[in-house]
Amino acid sequence: MTGEQMLVASTPGHRSRRTWWLGATATVVVLALLLAGAGLIGYRMRAPEHRIDFLLDASMPDEAHNRLGLEDVVQALSGAVQNVGDSDAVSLRRFGGSCGTAESELLVQSKAGNRDQILAAAAAIEPRGQATLNAGIEAAVREFSGYFPPRGRKINELVVVTRHGSDACNDKVGLHEVERLAKQAKVDLRLRIVGYQVPPSERTSLTSDVADSSTSTTPISLQFVNDAQQLHKLLQHITIPDLPEAALIEVAPPPTLLGEAWVDKEQPDYVITFADNGLGGKAIKGTFGAYVRDPGPSGCLEFVDYTSALNVSEVYERPSFIPAGEATNTTFYTGIARRCDASGKKSTTRVQLSVGDQSATLCESTRKCHELARVEQQEGWTWRTARQVDWWDELGAYITDCASDFWEDSQLKDVIPDPTEDLLIKDLTGDGQADLVVQARCITGASTWPQHTMIFDGAAAPTRLKLLLNIGPNTDIILADSDVRFGQDEVTVEGATWGPGEPTCCPTWWVTGTYRWSQGKFVRTARERYSSPPDI
All domains in the chain, ordered by first residue: 46-239 (3.40.50.410), 246-375 (no CATH), 386-530 (no CATH)
- Band the pLDDT of 509: cuts 50, 70, 90: confident
Which of the four pLDDT bands, split at 50, 70 and 90, describes residue 422? very low
- What average pLDDT does the segment 234-244 reach? 59
Q: What is the pLDDT of residue 160?
A: 93
Calculate the alpha carbon distances from 94 to 84, 105, 198, 209 in Å: 19, 5, 17, 21
Which residue did the predictor score with more confidence, 381 or 342? 342
3-state secondary structure of 355: strand
CA-CA distance, 172 to 134, in Å (whole number)? 8
Beta-carbon contacts of 375 under 8 Å, excluding residues fewer than 6 positions away, are 261, 262, 263
Residues 6+ apart with CB under 8 A from 197: 69, 163, 225, 226
DSSP track, 88-125: -EEEEEEE-B-TTSS-EEEEEEEEET-HHHHHHHHHT-
Q: Is the pLDDT of residue 139 over 80?
A: yes
Digit-coded pLDDT (tens) for 313-357 = 222 222 222 333 333 344 444 444 444 455 545 454 555 555 554
Return the bridge partners of 358, or none: none
Sign of CA dihedral 29, 31, 35, 40: positive
- How many Å apart are CA 84 and CA 352, to the nearest integer? 10
Instruction: Tell whether omega for the bond before 417 is within 30 degrees of 0, i.e. cis.
Output: no
Helix (H, G, I), strand (E, B) or coil at 442: strand
- CA atoms of 251 and 373, how far apart (whole Å): 6
Span 58-62, mean pLDDT? 78
Report the percent of the chain where pLDDT is more than 70.
35
Classify residue 86 as exposed, middle or buried by CB count within 10 Å of its CB (0-12, 13-18, 19+). middle
φ, ψ for residue 449, nearest 5 deg: -65, 140
Q: Which residues are registered as beta bridge partners of 288?
A: 276, 310
Question: Which is it for strands 490-497 and 220-225: parallel, antiparallel or unpaired?
Answer: unpaired
Task: Assess contact for 489 and 278: CB atoms under 8 A.
Answer: no
Q: Which residue has the higher pLDDT, 132 or 424?
A: 132
What's the pLDDT tens digit per position in 256-276?
Answer: 333 344 444 454 444 444 433
Of the candidates 63, 164, 80, 165, the one whose C-alpha atom is nearest the C-alpha of residue 122 is 80
Q: What number of CA atoms fall less than 13 Å from residue 287's CA on the CB side? A: 25
Average pLDDT, integer, range 516-535: 62
User: CB within 8 A of 55, min separation 6: which ones?
Assistant: 93, 94, 95, 104, 136, 137, 140, 158, 159, 160, 161
pLDDT at 428 over 60: no
pLDDT at position 165: 86
The whole-chain average pLDDT of the chain stands at 60
pTM of this structure: 0.43
pLDDT in tens, 8-37: 344 455 555 556 566 666 666 666 665 555
Pick the closest to residue 271 from 425, 412, 426, 423 (CA basis): 423
pLDDT at 55: 93
pLDDT in tens, 448-491: 344 455 666 655 445 566 555 544 443 444 455 567 676 655 66
* Mean pLDDT comparison of 226-240, 251-265, 424-438, highest-scoring range: 226-240
pLDDT tens per residue across span 35-54: 555 454 444 456 787 888 99
